[in-house]
């Protein structure tokens, strides 16, 4: 164990329950994370004041550091919702999926991942993925089977499906960004604003730089004449709105109803 006991946080049953539940869910949106935190306090330490979420998580992360694990915060690429997942820092493979999937299924995921990264839009069509079924390692898989495996990826929040095309779920990006950047250093796209991995986003038609939709929203917020930060050319795409959790809760929009801004604007 790295000797960081000096700055290590204090773990109580509140934190332990929180970790257990977050781990079980795989990934959670910020609103649910806050409810989860309050629930853990209620159950295990009802008289304590609920820590600010950021401090609460930093506290836990200081303890997890020696295990090369951390609670990571990210943002969904399509509508900028904050999400949290417990991720492994040291591993650089898709090992978390390894317990749920067979060798040929993992290879199918790898093939889909490659197509997604190579694509212009960040989406790979079902047809193109299924056409690679013959190249999979391990037991032979038929296309029908592969279709079901793809659905399993969606259910387990590794992929998102929209109109027959697949892209990476926010969870996959959180967990695998390091692996992806190391494995596909040439094909990988990076956001000009936040410098993180970019799968879906908008790009400048003149100089080709790319930005995440939430990054675009923040960068061009209340800017009447949006211009490319790199070449200064007029930014031709629709500027999305910055995600506002308060607004969302008030209008009671459920996640399933909300029409996400799907980026086809490369």
Partner 1 sequence: MPAAGMPPLPQSPPEIPPQGPPKISPQGPPQSPPQSPLNSCSSPLLWTRLDEESSSEEEEDTATWQALPESESLPRYALDEKVAELVQFLLLRYQTKEPVPKAEMLTTVIKKYNDYFPMIFGKAHELIELIFGIALTEMDPDNHSYFFEDLLGLTYEGSLMDDQGMPQNCLLILILSMISIKGSCVPEEVLCEVLSAIGVCAGREHFIYGNPRKLLIIDWVQRKYLEYREVPNNAPPRYEFLWGPRAHSEASKRKVLEFLAKYHRLGDLDNTHVFSHISGR
Q: Which of 54, 59, 66, 264 binds partner 1 (CB under 8 A)?
A: 66
Any contact of residue 69 with partner 1 (CB under 8 A)? yes
How far apart (Å, rounded) are the C-alpha atoms in residues 24 and 45?
Answer: 21
Any contact of residue 42 with partner 1 (CB under 8 A)? yes
Q: Which residue in this structure is represented by tokens 């047809």?
A: 127
Any contact of residue 13 with partner 1 (CB under 8 A)? yes
Q: Which range in 3-11, 51-59, 191-199, 240-248 contacts partner 1 by CB under 8 A?
A: 3-11
Q: Smallest distance from the beta carbon of 231 to partner 1, in angstroms?
A: 44
How far apart (Å, rounded) are the C-alpha atoms in residues 44 and 23?
Answer: 18
Residue 109 or 123: the one with the smaller Cβ distance to partner 1 is 109
Q: Which residues contact 134 (CB under 8 A, 6 or more apart)?
A: none
Q: Which residue in this structure is represented by tokens 């839009």?
A: 121
Provide the pairing of β-strand 210-211 with 82-88: unpaired
Q: Which range in 84-92, 175-183, 186-194, 215-223 contacts partner 1 by CB under 8 A?
A: 84-92
Residue 12 or 206: the one with the smaller Cβ distance to partner 1 is 12
Any contact of residue 102 with partner 1 (CB under 8 A)? no
Any contact of residue 21 with partner 1 (CB under 8 A)? yes
Any contact of residue 164 with partner 1 (CB under 8 A)? no
Question: Radius of gyration over alpha carbons of the chain, in Å?
Answer: 20
Q: Which range in 13-21, 71-79, 108-116, 236-244 contacts partner 1 by CB under 8 A?
A: 13-21
Any contact of residue 212 with partner 1 (CB under 8 A)? no
| Residues in a beta bridge with 227 | 234
Any contact of residue 1 with partner 1 (CB under 8 A)? yes
Residue 10 or 224: the one with the smaller Cβ distance to partner 1 is 10
Q: List interacting residues with partner 1 (CB under 8 A).
A: 1-5, 8, 10-14, 16-17, 19-21, 23-25, 28, 32, 35-36, 38-39, 42-46, 48, 63-64, 66-69, 88, 90-91, 95-96, 98-99
């Amino acid at each position: 164990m790295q000797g960081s006991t000096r700055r290590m946080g204090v773990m109580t049953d509140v934190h332990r329950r929180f970790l257990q539940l977050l781990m079980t869910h795989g990934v959670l949106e910020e609103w649910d994370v806050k409810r989860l935190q309050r629930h853990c306090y209620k159950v295990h330490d009802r008289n304590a004041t609920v820590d600010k979420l950021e401090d609460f998580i930093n506290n836990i992360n200081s303890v997890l550091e020696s295990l090369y694990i951390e609670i990571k915060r990210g943002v969904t690429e399509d509508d900028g919702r904050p999400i949290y997942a417990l991720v492994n820092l040291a591993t650089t493979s898709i090992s978390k999926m390894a317990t749920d999937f067979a060798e040929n299924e993992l290879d199918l995921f790898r093939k889909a991942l490659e197509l997604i990264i190579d694509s212009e839009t960040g989406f790979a069509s079902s047809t193109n993925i299924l056409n690679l079924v013959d190249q999979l390692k391990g037991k032979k898989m038929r296309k029908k089977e592969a279709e079901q495996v793809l659905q399993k990826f969606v259910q387990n929040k590794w992929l998102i499906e929209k109109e027959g095309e697949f892209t990476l779920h926010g969870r996959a990006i959180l967990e695998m960004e390091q692996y992806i950047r190391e494995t596909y250093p040439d094909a990988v796209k990076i956001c000009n604003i936040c410098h993180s991995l970019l799968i879906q986003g908008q790009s400048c038609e003149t100089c080709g730089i790319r930005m995440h939709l939430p990054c675009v929203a923040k960068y061009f917020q209340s800017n009447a004449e949006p211009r490319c930060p790199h070449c200064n050319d007029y930014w031709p795409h629709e500027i999305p709105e910055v995600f506002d959790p308060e607004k969302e809760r008030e209008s009671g929009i459920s996640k399933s109803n909300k029409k996400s801004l799907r980026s086809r604007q490369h």
